[in-house]
Chain A
């Protein structure tokens, strides 16, 4: 169902189809991806590796290298502008400034040969035209904001002198230094250990509360999603399968895949010894099944599922799902209580 650009979204992705070159030929890795993020919300984007979640968000800032990737179709609206049509110079004004991004590997995402202060102030001076001294002061404030002790001396540190958790905080400070409206966090805690993970998550939530930051949070970890997200987008094999409020997603998922993910989550009071696994594997981009992409692994699949690909429909109250049989799931749940 096509929508006009929805005014309540800060950023809206519409029908985005990106392709990569395999054997010299462009093969779509995301198909018709559509979702939006509202101001002040933390939107989770969940999926296994290969689901296309990272590719999609990278396209927002146009960070995908242009060969081998290409955008076949779609728009990304931000403040009424289609980011995909902007010139590079205009994009540069947005990156790090209006929209910032932090990445998965804090160990390698900071440049090892420059101090943290240098890397933060360079962004500030670029976008806000402050002097070096003013930028440094601001950078110190940012470090303080993200909870780094002794921020002034930390500015002179090199990345390798900091722990993983600290580095990620520095990344966040850097990303927020120009007061962006939107932060894209691409699996920011995956490479950190759980205690640090918890700290970072708390930090992000605080930032959302204190400065009204909007966050697109990409992860494959549903536990994290449960902690932090307001709404969630579930992606599988390059397509959006479900979009729901957090409560709805956990208590009443409508897509067989989401349901499978829920079952696969380890719980503390779990009875069985074996962890549940969704049978089968994620298909490769060049070997996508016809019809619904999840159909080969889906317990509810019928003949129609392999003949046509379902559209993303509104199952009620903005809960979107891409499945022919979602009603069936809903009924089943109600029956099982």
Chain B
């Protein structure tokens, strides 16, 4: 098992390397200059000086190598726009996005898996219809719109929750949660809907399997059949779905962070792209790529834990 984990970790490296090259090339190809990001009333001499100052006039491969070697040393460079070290930004903003994503996932999973199971077990009855319709609606509602609706209802009309802002967990857990609950729900809804549908179909498929009939034939009560025999098998595609959707959650975080004015890296990435603040974009995307790869590795490992067929076959 340990050897497998080590192997997977080592596999991450070439992937990260490839991502860095693609990322760098993409930024190169984008027309436009960071210098203009500051404002359109900049003079031409300013542009030239800016480029020299930030080494933007060096050839591409030189800049790429500089960047990679620095990153390996832990130096993510400085922002072209503000001149401040990017690592500070990361330290402050990353936990916000992480918290948002994790909360959304938790909310979603806690709602989605039982809902999906209910739907499958009570197939083609009222609870199933309701759940399926809600799931369909949840998948189609854009998180942005849902977020704005929530603000409209809970902040403006009812005045129960603040519409924006972030308070760190370390400062006050209750203040933090009052500000995170709407974003987590807005972001998590689409996720929950997808997981619900996936759970339902995985469960339906599992419930059709022969070993479920065997379990029933042994006299096991329904709840054991579902929670012991069906669940673990159904979890395999469900866990895969959750892993895949996590990447998209990060993407959705961008929009939600804008709606609720959260200081996370999602907003930061978009902003930096628009301003062509290359070092920031690249640093942040490498981090996100890293997280996604880590999550996928975790998913692999979880698969191995759930399904003995996988780990066994790899030992041979």
Contacts and interface: CB of A to CB of B under 8 A. Distances in A.
A contacts B: CB pair < 8 Å: yes
A111 B233 contact: yes
Interface string B291-316: 00000000000000011110010000
Interface in A243-301: none
Interface of B: 124, 209-211, 213-222, 224, 228-229, 232-233, 306-309, 312
Given A122-B218, A127-B219, A174-B218, A109 B211 contact: yes
Contacts of B210: 103, 105, 108-109
Indicate the member of B307, B308, B309 with the most A CB atoms within 10 Å.
B308
B136 to A, nearest CB: 23
A58 to B, nearest CB: 8
B308 A112 contact: yes
A108 B312 contact: no
A96 interface: yes
19 contacts: A63-B216, A63-B217, A91-B219, A95-B217, A103-B210, A103-B217, A108-B211, A109-B210, A111-B233, A112-B233, A112-B307, A112-B308, A113-B232, A113-B307, A123-B219, A127-B219, A160-B308, A160-B309, A171-B214
A173 to B, nearest CB: 12
Given A92-B221, A100-B218, A112-B309, 17 more contacts: A63-B217, A88-B222, A89-B221, A91-B219, A96-B218, A97-B219, A103-B213, A109-B210, A111-B211, A111-B214, A111-B233, A112-B307, A113-B232, A113-B306, A113-B309, A122-B218, A126-B220
A151 B270 CA distance: 62
Given A111-B233, A112-B233, A113-B307, A96 B219 contact: yes
Given A108-B211, A113-B308, A101 B217 contact: yes
Contact of A113 (B217, B220, B233): B233
Nearest to B233: A113
A218 to B, nearest CB: 14
Contacts of A63: 213, 216-217
A91 B228 CA distance: 20
Indicate the member of B217, B222, B229, B308 with the most A CB atoms within 10 Å.
B217
A158 interface: yes
A111 B217 contact: no
A323 B96 CA distance: 80
A320 interface: no
A89 B219 CA distance: 9
A127 B124 CA distance: 33
Given A105-B210, A109-B211, A161-B312, A95 B216 contact: yes
B218 A158 contact: no
B214 A126 contact: no
Contacts of A132: none
A103 B124 CA distance: 28
Nearest to A124: B218
Given A108-B211, A110-B211, A92 B220 contact: yes
A158 B307 CA distance: 10
Contacts of A101: 217
B214 A103 contact: yes
Judged by DSSP, the binding face of B is helix
Interface of A: 61, 63, 67, 88-89, 91-97, 100-101, 103, 105, 108-114, 122-123, 126-127, 158, 160-161, 171, 174
B229 A111 contact: yes
B220 A122 contact: yes
A101 B219 CA distance: 10
A109 B217 CA distance: 11
Contacts of A127: 219
Contacts of B217: 61, 63, 95-96, 100-101, 103
B215 A158 contact: no
Nearest to B214: A109
A111 B309 CA distance: 11
B216 A110 contact: no
Contacts of A91: 219
A108 to B, nearest CB: 4
Contacts of A108: 209-211
A122 B124 CA distance: 31
Contacts of B211: 108-112
A123 B214 CA distance: 11
A158 B214 contact: no
Contacts of A95: 216-219
Contacts of B214: 103, 109-111, 171
Shortest Cβ-Cβ A-B pairs, 4 listed: A95-B219, A96-B218, A96-B219, A108-B210
A171 B220 CA distance: 15
B59 to A, nearest CB: 55
B277 to A, nearest CB: 49
Nearest to A91: B219
Nearest to B235: A113
A92 B219 contact: yes
B309 to A, nearest CB: 5
A133 B211 CA distance: 25
A89 B220 CA distance: 10
A142 to B, nearest CB: 13
A103 B209 CA distance: 12
A111 B225 CA distance: 11
B218 A123 contact: yes
Contacts of A112: 211, 233, 307-309
Indicate the member of B211, B224, B233, B312 with the most A CB atoms within 10 Å.
B211
Contact of A93 (B215, B219, B306, B308): B219
Contacts of A171: 214
A158 B309 contact: yes
A158 B309 CA distance: 8
A111 B220 contact: no
Contacts of A160: 308-309, 312
A127 B224 CA distance: 14
A67 B229 CA distance: 22
A108 B233 CA distance: 12
